[in-house]
Chain A
Amino acid sequence: MSEALIRLRGVTKKYGTGQAELMALKGIDLDVAAGEFVAIMGPSGSGKSTAMNILGCLDTPTAGQYLFHGAHVEALSRDQRARLRRRYLGFVFQGFNLLARTSAQENVELPLLYRGESATVRHAAASRALQSVGLGGWEHHTPGELSGGQQQRVAIARAIVTEPAVVLADEPTGNLDTQRSEEIMELLRALNVDHGITVLMVTHEHDMAAYARRVVHFVDGRIESDVPNPHPAAPRAPAVPAQVQAP
């Protein structure tokens, strides 16, 4: 592996002190190259969410190094990490986290707002992103008027509207039924394959992990296995089902 986009070295994370002390991560080494699709699996309490927070620059390790694009994230201030997030990262959450009573268009424009883009640029980019997740024509619907699967698509559009290097997805299909889950996974796979975006995804469903090209297993704060998936799940349905393509 040449120059890794993400490099964790001896990363530990400790919560609490004294009797209540909890080692969530007990020395993690992980390299992720640009363009990978990594699924992170493991039982609850295994440290996968903690690792995801650190990878997403939302949290800093207690000890160890985290190099992102060659920058030492563990040494960055809160605002510096925020700048790094807005520049390189996109987030997809289990609970969608869309702004209520706010149109899909405005939700997707949000990250661009913090980048200081002009209204015209924001508008065009958001429309493009919504188009690419198959929600062209749904721009003016609010989350309340969209199904769960559609809401997660809006969230994905919001994650990719800034053209990030990495998309971090934390159980993106956790709140969706099987069919919607597969559609979302198709979208993530397409992002990875067609746009070369590195995807890091936490999941506890093997069916979903099967879409990734590499699966990392966490157990008890350590990486138990890290295996490539030579045969990722093939598209079983078109990435964008016909019934959601237009309102």
Chain B
Amino acid sequence: MLLSTLFLALRSIRRNLLRSFLTILGIVIGVSAVITMVTLGNGATLAVQMQISSLGTNLLMVRPGQRQGPGGPGGGAPSFKEADADAILSQIGGVAAVAPEARAGATVIGNGRNWSTSVTGSNDTWFVTGNWKLASGREFTDEETQSGAAVCIVGETVRREIYGGTRGLGEQLRIKQFSCEVIGVLASKGQGAMGNDQDDTVLVPLRTLQRRVTGNLRVNSLLVSMQDGSDSTRLKAALRDLLRERRKLAAGDDDNFNILDTQQLADTLSGTTKVMTTLLGAVAAVSLLVGGIGIMNIMLVSVTERTREIGLRLAIGALEREVLMQFLIEAVTLAALGGLIGIGIATVASFALAKVMGVPYLFDPTINMLSFVFSACIGVVFGYFPARRAARMDPIEALRHE
């Protein structure tokens, strides 16, 4: 009986193809909106996580000043020294590498062009902590690092702006008053988590920067890379104690430096996008509800229109519950069909939109399944009232209906 009722419902849907389509339009839009929103939201979350991890995995960024978050170093607080980096590496367990980093803004000139960029002074461990790779050329030698040689490694953006189509290796690049030889080009990382261009930099040995560009021995930040599986909370505590001691802070003093955990940053940012995803999904879910009301509307019209048919079915011996089931199944079938079409549209739309927005496309089976089940439930809820109305008709009245 159930199967033949389903068959009946399908037949009735096919008989009124245009109306059936209009009925489910609301559900189609609702389902595709929910799925598209959630899929894109998930993609955006993943994109954020990927950008953060491009900063370096298991990375702690230590900066002077109390300011938390991804802002610049706080003013007034003393900067670090190169010796701090050595101390961290030798005295704290679980540290894989430490890179001291100093930065200065400078206009670089080469190949008859100039480009305003940020010059980074560090050494080879910077490649480890920052997860950097070389596109071509080589890293600094120990000798170059020790002596502060006039060599540099350029980021992809700088290479493109100064050298255009050529590789740039072996060329001279002038930074402020001194010239250095380009010995390598960094592999591109693209946009960072804060929307900054990570490739817009020139790397020189730390000593080179200190002697020839900034003229002081300051180190702006320490990049601490933790070993895999080490306890970041304990390591951070040890790091804090060591730095407090080295910076001669008394017991009551506040820290005059801050430690930024990229994992924490990733969690915070992806938490934000997750909240946005949920919000957008919820708004889209309202349209699903509106779609349900659309189904109820059309089903009521359909019941009125088919009064004689219902009268006939009742007269030839259909039970109340059979008529109820017929219309209920019709509503559920319509709604479920709408859900399926919605899923189809959402798949195409979110794939295309993900391409346009530059976020990865992630098929989420849960939200697809959930939307489908939810739309079928909407069919039950909003189909019940019209179906009951049909089932309770008086066959004599119904047969007389014009």
Residues of A within 8 A of B (CB): 53, 56, 58-59, 78-79, 82-83, 85-87, 89-91, 93, 95, 97, 99, 101-102, 106, 110-111, 113-116, 119, 158
Contacts and interface: CB of A to CB of B under 8 A. Distances in A.
- Which of B1, B308, B312, B322 has the largest count of A CB atoms less than 10 A from its CB? B312
- The listed residue with most A CB atoms (<10 A of its CB), out of B309, B313, B316, B320, is B316
B317 A114 contact: yes
Nearest to B1: A116
Contact of B317 (A59, A87, A99): A87
Contacts of B290: none
B319 interface: yes
A111 B316 contact: yes
B36 to A, nearest CB: 36
Contact of A158 (B4, B316, B321, B322): B316
Contacts of B395: 58
B11 to A, nearest CB: 8
Interface of B: 1, 4, 8, 11, 15, 308-309, 311-322, 395-396, 399
A42 B225 CA distance: 103
Contacts of A113: 4, 8
A212 B48 CA distance: 87
A85 B395 CA distance: 12
B319 A97 contact: no
A86 B316 contact: yes
Contacts of A102: 11, 15
Contacts of A56: 315
B159 to A, nearest CB: 71
Contact of A114 (B15, B308, B311, B313): B313
A82 B314 contact: yes
A85 B318 CA distance: 9
Nearest to B395: A58
B315 A85 contact: yes
A58 B319 contact: no
22 contacts: A53-B396, A79-B319, A82-B320, A85-B315, A85-B316, A85-B317, A86-B317, A87-B317, A89-B317, A91-B315, A93-B399, A95-B308, A97-B308, A97-B311, A97-B312, A99-B312, A110-B312, A111-B316, A111-B317, A114-B317, A114-B319, A119-B4
Given A85-B315, A114-B322, 14 more contacts: A58-B395, A59-B396, A82-B314, A82-B319, A83-B319, A85-B316, A91-B316, A95-B308, A97-B311, A97-B312, A110-B313, A113-B8, A114-B317, A114-B318
A79 B314 CA distance: 10
Nearest to B317: A86
Nearest to A159: B316
Contacts of A110: 312-313, 316
A141 to B, nearest CB: 16
B309 A99 contact: yes
Contacts of A87: 317
Contacts of A119: 4
Contacts of A101: 15
Contacts of B399: 93, 97
Contacts of A116: 1
Contacts of A59: 396
A245 to B, nearest CB: 27
A96 to B, nearest CB: 10
A114 B322 CA distance: 8
Q: Which 8 A/B pairs are nearest by Cβ-Cβ distance?
A: A86-B317, A85-B317, A111-B316, A97-B312, A79-B319, A114-B318, A101-B15, A82-B317
Nearest to A109: B4
B18 to A, nearest CB: 13
Nearest to A168: B315
A234 to B, nearest CB: 32
A159 to B, nearest CB: 8
Nearest to A91: B315
Contacts of A79: 319-321
A197 to B, nearest CB: 16
Nearest to B15: A101
A83 B320 contact: no
Contacts of A83: 317, 319
A78 B393 CA distance: 11
Counting chain A CB atoms within 10 Å of each CB, the highest count among B8, B11, B15, B318 belongs to B318
A207 to B, nearest CB: 25
Contacts of B396: 53, 58-59
Contacts of B4: 113, 119
Contacts of B320: 78-79, 82
Contact of A82 (B308, B309, B311, B318): B318
A104 to B, nearest CB: 15
B392 to A, nearest CB: 9
Contacts of A58: 315, 395-396
A99 B318 CA distance: 15
Contacts of B8: 113
Nearest to B3: A119
A26 to B, nearest CB: 20
B249 to A, nearest CB: 87
Contacts of B311: 97
A79 to B, nearest CB: 5
A116 B396 CA distance: 24
B317 to A, nearest CB: 2
A88 to B, nearest CB: 9
A58 B311 CA distance: 10
A116 B4 CA distance: 9
